[in-house]
Amino acid sequence: MNRDTLKITGMTCAACSARIERAVQKMDGVGFASVNLATEKLTAEYDCGVTDIQKIMGVVTGLGYGAAAVTQKKQSADADKLKKEREIKVLWLKFIISAAFAVPLLYLAMGSMIGLPIPEFLMPMMHPLNFAVAEILLTIPSIAAGYRFYIVGVKAILKRSPNMDSLIAVGTSAAVLYSLYSVIGIISGNHGAVDALYFETAAVIITLILLGKSLEAASKGKTSEAIKKLMGLAPKTAIIVKDGKEIEIPIDDVCIGDICSVKPGDKIPADGVVAEGYTSIDESMLTGESMPVDKKTGDKVFAASINKNGAFRFEATKVGGETALAQIIKLVEDAQGSKAPIARLADIICRYFVPTVFGIATIAAAAWWISGEPFVFAVTIFVAVLVIACPCALGLATPTAIMVATGKGAEYGILIKSGAALETTHKIKTVVLDKTGTITAGKPEVTDIIAVGEASERGLLQLAASAEKGSEHPLGEAIVQRAEAEGLEMLKPETFEAITGLGVEVGIGGQNILIGNKKLMTERGVAFDALKALSDGLASEGKTPVYVAIDGKIAGVIAVADVVKESSAAAIKKLKDMGTEVIMLTGDNVKTAEAIARQVGIERVLAEVLPQDKSDEIKKLQGKNKVVAMVGDGINDAPALARADVGIAIGSGADVAIESADIVLMRSDLADAAAAIQLSKSTIRNIKQNLFWAFGYNVLGIPVAAGLLYLAGGSLLNPMFAAAAMSLSSVSVIANALRLKGFKPKA
């Protein structure tokens, strides 16, 4: 089976993507078809002996959409970004043009009704034709700005698969056509027809829909940012050893088996195995852990990780697209592409609503005409049904609630990137939390200082900080920061030696100071039996013990740990109280992870998990019919954030994590994850209420517009009152959506 990807253009809603997916899936030889509305791509698996990519493209274009093959060669992220920016600018320009004419049109139409000042020559009762012509001139630019709604909407109707654009096209066309009919009446001398002009309805609908489309396009425009930032992590060049000489070459020229030389501070150019030398490497881009990892001969190193202090050489074992970084990039791309578009309730209604309304309007008009009523009477019935069924309220039901909710979320520091994310969040049953930077602060801090013998705690800290002042190791930096916070004076070392993978040896005031791990103390013959039980206890709590020896005798131990954020335990309790399962997923060791989990009340822990495995773990949970949210902050979390149903990034985290996520917690407070779920539940409830009212007005109004009351001896529904009922439904929907402004997260 071949697998190819097509770039699709012309899709406007979930109904479009579903329609393409169904059509391609039905083709002979096609085993799988998936359309992603956000990335505007179709992925298809097919038997090349039965069909080919050209035939699939033909089916897509036959439906009225554009299709182009995505080439396998590397595409320019910058060019794609510029193209999307141009599309967004065009949409905003259309909105501005439409709004610039719709606002004065609305003022003109409503002004005479509510007593606003209007020039005498435009007064509808005194100069109805002038009034009508002015409205027409103000309506034309809005119609022109929204011309795509008519092209796409009408095509969808002709293809018997109506969508939201069809509703916009039908509703606004009905308002405009009936208004033009009324203008003809005015010209014929029926000045009372001026009360039946509904041009402003069409213009305002188009303006509001263009605003929504602009916001949607702006959100879609950021889909390539995560991939671009990941690609930027890789170094541009590498230094290889050839014939005993070090040569700098482009990264793409590195081959498997090459011996690469890496100096302190350099990025590692490929995956490989250390051939000679000792060093400490920052692998936080892979593991998310702030502690550097000591490396010796035979240990694995990974591309784009950063060499901290020792020079070393390694043999390249994986290059280019095979490196761990390249695999992370691929995982993010696959996860983003696998997200199915959310089927909106409004689109489901639209699928049956438009043809039903057309059918009712046509049947009602024909029935009255056949029964002997004049043709004008039948036309009035037809237009009244279409006008009262105008999808203004139905079209506003979802976007107004989402706009209010996202604005309210921003007030609480919850950045919701799309309406789709807001809709999905209310279904979350499992929240997976990264440890470092999410539950914990993300940087080492001194937690305990234990002095033995003649040393005091402040003296021990002063010596250790003075010794570590010249070190770049995060543990040393944590000790220095603690001493500075306590206002301790730094002593000047006479000698300094960094012992790779072990610690430092320093001469201060004639004393020999050793600071480092257990291995350093053992190698130098320093007995630390008195502190062994205490150190093991610190380690069981997830802390790293740093031993300090003075002139060959143990002086104490300083514990350093990535401490738990103050708000984490309460936030996790809040999530659990909401009936949500909470899981910790981390690349850290089991002992440290379980120690942190105990502190915050998490029962289930998945530790020592690599980035690609994090994504797989999320997929496994989803396979159990669970809607999963992933909360993380590191580059290593990006694939899992993209794979999850809802990715939630900590605002203080890496840019790539933020770009990959659907929701960003700007205050870096885990409690805001619970608030986001609460906001989503309130919003979905509000949207369903909106759809009920919007659809309810149509259900009640259509029979009246079709002449039910007239048949029973009452009066015929004037299209003017039909428009008033339609407007009332819109007012109800907007007023209900505004209630979300009163949302407050539950404590």
Contact indicator for 128, 121 with CB cutoff of 8 Å: no
Burial class (CB in 10 A: 0-12, 13-18, 19+), 623: exposed
Say how far apart CA 219 and CA 324 lie, in whole Å. 29
- Which is nearest to 213 in space by CA: 39, 90, 83, 68? 90
In 500-542, alpha helices (H): 518-523, 529-540
* Residue in the block written with tokens 């930027």: 232
Q: What stretches of 421-493 adopt beta strand conformation (E)?
A: 430-433, 440-451
> Identity (one letter) of the amino acid at 614?
K
Q: What stretches of 51-143 adopt beta strand conformation (E)?
A: 66-69
Question: Which structure tokens are listed for 294?
Answer: 């000591």
Burial class (CB in 10 A: 0-12, 13-18, 19+), 445: middle
Query: Which residue is catalytic, options 434, 588, 637, 669?
Result: 434
Say how far apart CA 385 and CA 389 lie, in whole Å. 6
Between the alpha carbon of residue 589 and those of residues 10, 301, 303, 380, the distances in Å are 49, 18, 22, 75
Say how many Å lie between the first and final Cα of the chain, rounded. 53
Paired with 41 in beta bridges are 7, 36
Residue 434 annotated to the active site: yes
Say how far apart CA 213 and CA 211 lie, in whole Å. 6
Give 251's DSSP letter: G
Give 302's DSSP letter: -
Question: Under the phi-then-psi rule, with left for phi > 0, alpha for psi from -120 to 50, and beta for the rest, what region is 160?
Answer: left
**H or E element, residue 631:** strand 628-632
Computed from CA positions of residues 667, 482, 635, 230, in that sequence, does the dihedral angle turn out positive or negative? positive
Active site residues: 434
